[in-house]
Amino acid sequence: MKIDEMKDNANRFRLLFENAPMPYQSLDEHGIFLDVNNKWLETLGYENKNEIIGDWFSDYLTEEYKDIFDKRFPIFKHACMIDGAEFDMIRKDGTILTVSFNGRIQQDEDGQFVCTHCIFHDITKSLQINAALHQSEQRYRRLSDATFESIFISENGICIEQNATAEMMFGYTHEEAAERDLTQWFHPDDREIVKNNILSGREAPYEVTALRKDGTTFPCEIQGRTATQDNKTIRITALRDLTDRINAEKKLRDSEQRHRLIFEHSPLSVIRFAKDGRIVDCNRKFVSLMGSEKDRIIGFNTLENSPADMRKALKKAIQGSTSSFEDYYTSVTGSKTRYIRTFFNPVDPDNVPTEVIAIIEDISDRKKVENKLAASEERFRLMAENAQDVIYRFSIPDERYEYISQACRTVMGYEPEEFYSDYSLMRRITLNPWREQLTEKWPNMVNGNILPVVEFQITDKSGQTKWLQQTNVVLYNPSGKAIAVEGIIRDITELKNALENLEQERARAEAASNTKSEFLANMSHEIRTPLNGILGMLQLMQDNSPSPKQSEYISAAMQASKRLNSVLSDILDLARVESGKLIIRSEDFNPAESLHQVLEMFEITSKHSGVELNLHIDPSVPQKLHGDALRLQQVLSNLVGNAIKFTESGSVSIAAQSLPTQHDRPYLLFTIEDTGIGIPDEKLGMLFDSFTQIGKGYTRQHQGVGLGLAICKRLISLMGGNISVDTEVGRGTTFYISIPFAPAETPPTEEIKATHKKLEPKESELEGCKILIAEDEKVNRLYTKRFLEQRGCTVETAVDGQQTLDILMYNDFDLILMDVQMPVMNGIETTEAIRKGEAGAHNKRIPIIAVTAYAMTGDKDKFVAAGMNDYIAKPVEESELYNTISKFICKK
Domain contains 23: yes
- 737 and 776 fall within a common domain: no
DSSP string over 33-60: EEEE-HHHHHHHT-S-GGGTTTSBGGGG
Do 119 and 171 reside in the same domain of the chain?
Answer: no
The reply to whether 198 falls in a domain is yes
Let me know whether 340 and 410 are in one domain. Answer: no
Task: Note whether 885 and 775 are same-domain residues.
Answer: yes
> In this structure, is residue 200 part of a structural domain?
yes
Q: 298 in helix, strand or coil?
A: coil
- The reported pTM is 0.34
- How does residue 129 score in pLDDT terms, banded at 50, 70 and 90? low
- 878: domain CATH number is 3.40.50.2300
Is 342 in the same domain as 405? no
CATH code for the domain in which residue 175 is found: 3.30.450.20
User: CB atoms < 10 A from the CB of 233, how many?
Assistant: 11
142 has a pLDDT exceeding 60: no
Q: Where are the alpha helices (DSSP H) in 151-305?
A: 164-170, 174-177, 188-200, 243-264, 284-290, 294-297, 302-305
**Do the domain assignments include residue 630?**
yes
Q: Within 10 Å of residue 462's Cβ, how many Cβ atoms? A: 7
Last residue of a domain, one of 191, 215, 247: 247
Per-residue pLDDT, averaged over 124-151, amounts to 64
Residue 303 and residue 228 share a domain: no
Specify whether 736 is located in the same domain as 767. no
Q: Does residue 136 carry a pLDDT above 70?
A: no
Residue 251: is its pLDDT beyond 70? Answer: yes
Higher local confidence (pLDDT), 533 or 255:
255
Summarize the confidence of residues 728-733 as an average pLDDT.
Answer: 87
- Identify which has the larger pLDDT, 398 or 521: 398
Task: Count how many domains the chain has.
Answer: 6
Domain boundary among 434, 465, 491: 491
Instruction: Indicate if 656 and 786 belong to the same structural domain.
Output: no
Is 203 among the domain residues? Answer: yes
Beta bridge pairs of residue 88: 98
**DSSP structural state of residue 604:** H
Give 663 or 390, the one with higher predicted confidence. 390
Task: Say what the pLDDT of residue 868 is.
Answer: 94
272 domain-assigned: yes
Res. 133 pLDDT band, cuts 50 70 90: low
What does the pLDDT read at residue 881?
Answer: 87
Mean pLDDT value across the chain: 82
pLDDT digits (tens, 9 = 90+) for 317-362: 999 999 999 998 998 888 888 899 999 999 999 999 999 999 998 8
Quickly count: other Cβ atoms within 10 Å of residue 889's Cβ. Answer: 18
Say if residues 280 and 272 touch (Cβ distance below 8 Å). yes
Residue 849 falls inside a structural domain: yes
Domain of residue 688, CATH code: 3.30.565.10
- Of 46-55, 146-155, 312-321, the range with the lowest mean pLDDT is 146-155
pLDDT in tens, 366-393: 888 877 877 766 776 777 677 788 988 8
State whether 323 and 415 are in the same domain.
Answer: no
User: What does the pLDDT look like over 468-503, one tens digit per residue?
Assistant: 998 888 888 888 888 888 889 999 988 888 888 888
* Sequence-separated (6 or more) residues with CB below 8 Å from residue 703: 563
Same-domain status, 462 and 398 = yes
Chain centre to alpha carbon of residue 9: 46
> Rounded CA gap, 656 and 635, in Å?
14
**Which one has a higher pLDDT value, 70 or 889?**
70
pLDDT tens digits along 9-44: 556 656 666 777 889 999 999 999 999 999 999 999
- pLDDT attached to residue 31: 93
Q: What is the residue range of 117's domain? A: 3-125
Q: Looking at residue 799, what is its pLDDT?
A: 92
pLDDT value, residue 268: 85
761 DSSP assignment: P
Work out the pLDDT band at 141, boundaries 50, 70, 90: low
Q: Is there a domain that residue 501 lies in? A: no
Residue whose C-alpha is closest to residue 639's, from 729, 728, 741, 715: 715
Gap between the Cα atoms of 845 and 617, Å rounded: 45
Pair type for strands 722-728 and 815-818: unpaired
**Considering only 272-281, 342-351, 779-788, which range has the smallest mean pLDDT?**
779-788
pLDDT category, 172, cuts 50, 70, 90? very high
**Domain match, 177 and 232 both:** yes
Among candidate residues 743, 774, 791, the one where a domain is terminated: 743
Q: Are residues 705 and 807 in the same domain?
A: no
